[in-house]
Structure 1
Amino acid sequence: MGYLVRPVKADEWQRLRELRLAALADPVARIAFNESFEKVAAYPDDVWQRRAARSDEDRDPLTFIGEAPDGSWGGMVVVRVELEGAEEWDDEEPWAHIVGVYVRPEQRGTGLARELFAAAVEWAWSRPEPVVRRIRLWVHEENERALMLYRSLGFVETGRTMADPKDETAIEHEMVLERA
């Protein structure tokens, strides 16, 4: 299936909200996301309007969606540029952070996740200021499907871990993609 991968438009905030809530209602949400369905469902409309407007204006954080030929949205990825934490790499360079990765169950295995990542990586690499040289993400130790996808896209584990913010007994692994 051919998807149109593009940033969310400002007037699509209700569809963005629906997709995010679908992600948080998915059975894998407990290991894929750090927010709860209940918390996000309570956000007022202006939160969603701001998120959609930022993407429409090509501002950080940017949400890409995968739109099927029938107009339905099959998935999303959010990318943002961060300076905080650069000292962890002993430099001052900013890095991009990929969060909010979701593909609807019926669209998994179609290549949509790869297309979404390609758009997010291209956006991060193409920014004139600040120049991004590394993209990172965190993956839950139980999320094997995501781990395999990220590895196939060139992300490598750094060896850094952190406790899952929702369950301190679980671990998340940092993965990075370095700019060539």
Structure 2
Amino acid sequence: MVVLSPATAENWRDIARVRPLESQSEWVAEPTYYLCLSAYDGLWRSCAVRTEDGTTVGHVMWAVDPDDDSHWIGGLVIDAERQGEGLGRATVEALLTLWEREEPSLSGTEYREAALSVSAGNEVALGLYRSLGFIETGELSDDEIVLRRPRP
């Protein structure tokens, strides 16, 4: 349903055009912020979320935590015009599948556990991640609830 493509000089403008719903602005940043994190922070890797016909419909980034080698998902934004189509779920599933098939060749780290953080008030995202097998750990990251999912 979706294809993840690393952010590049050729596709970053398409990613930058993605806009979340206005009501989501308290929980997610504009994709340009996430692109900058990936380009300059040295930890995160941004990806375009594309449909099978090549249309860019979102952004997601991932990183490996150097402290515990968990694989983190961040910056998941699906364009407002394409929400409600299952693209957020498909994006998370595609990323988990990528790690299961490709690691450790992508990051040099074996994939054992996925992690992410969500604002407590973001019930839609919490519901999505719980339905995908993520479990709250009691940890907080920047005032957000941390959820983890062991590799099946």
Instruction: Provide the TM-score with structure 1 as the length reference.
Output: 0.66
- Counterpart of 2:148, as a letter, is V
- Percent identity over the alignment? 26
Q: Does the CA contact (< 8 Å) of 2:2 and 2:91 recur in 1? A: no
Following TM superposition, the consecutive aligned residue runs of length 4 or more in structure 1 with deviations greater than 4 angstroms are: none
Residues 11-47 of structure 1: per-residue CA shift (max 9 Å, x gap): 112222333xx24x733121234xxx6x94xx9xxx5
Between the aligned partners of 1:162 and 1:77, the Cα distance in structure 2 is 18
Higher-Rg member (1/2)? 1
Q: Does the CA contact (< 8 Å) of 1:78 and 1:120 recur in 2? A: no
Alignment correspondent of 1:61:
44
Q: Does the CA contact (< 8 Å) of 1:8 and 1:65 recur in 2? A: yes
Matched, 1:127 2:103: yes
Between the aligned partners of 2:123 and 2:58, the Cα distance in structure 1 is 19
Shift in alpha-carbon separation, 1:8–1:162, aligned structure 2, 3 A: closer
Between the aligned partners of 2:52 and 2:71, the Cα distance in structure 1 is 29
Between the aligned partners of 1:62 and 1:162, the Cα distance in structure 2 is 19
Q: Does the CA contact (< 8 Å) of 2:2 and 2:94 recur in 1? A: no
Between the aligned partners of 1:110 and 1:73, the Cα distance in structure 2 is 14
Q: Does the CA contact (< 8 Å) of 1:78 and 1:99 recur in 2? A: yes
SS of the equivalent of 1:14 reads: helix
Shift of 1:162: 4.5
Higher helix proportion:
1
In the alignment, which of 108, 131, 147 is matched to residue 83 of structure 2?
Answer: 108
Between the aligned partners of 1:120 and 1:138, the Cα distance in structure 2 is 16
Matched, 1:6 2:43: no
SS of the equivalent of 1:109 reads: coil
SS of the equivalent of 2:140 reads: strand
Residues 75-101 of structure 1: per-residue CA shift (max 9 Å, x gap): 1211111213x2xxxxxxx11111001
SS of the equivalent of 2:91 reads: helix
Alignment correspondent of 1:169:
none
Between the aligned partners of 2:124 and 2:55, the Cα distance in structure 1 is 24
Aligned residues: 144
Matches within 5 A, 1:95-174: 95-125=70-100, 126-128=102-104, 129-162=108-141, 164=143, 172-174=144-146
SS of the equivalent of 1:31 reads: coil
In the alignment, which of 76, 82, 104 is matched to residue 59 of structure 2?
Answer: 76
Task: Mark the runs of 5 or more structure 1 residues left unpaired by the alignment.
Answer: 52-58, 87-93, 165-171
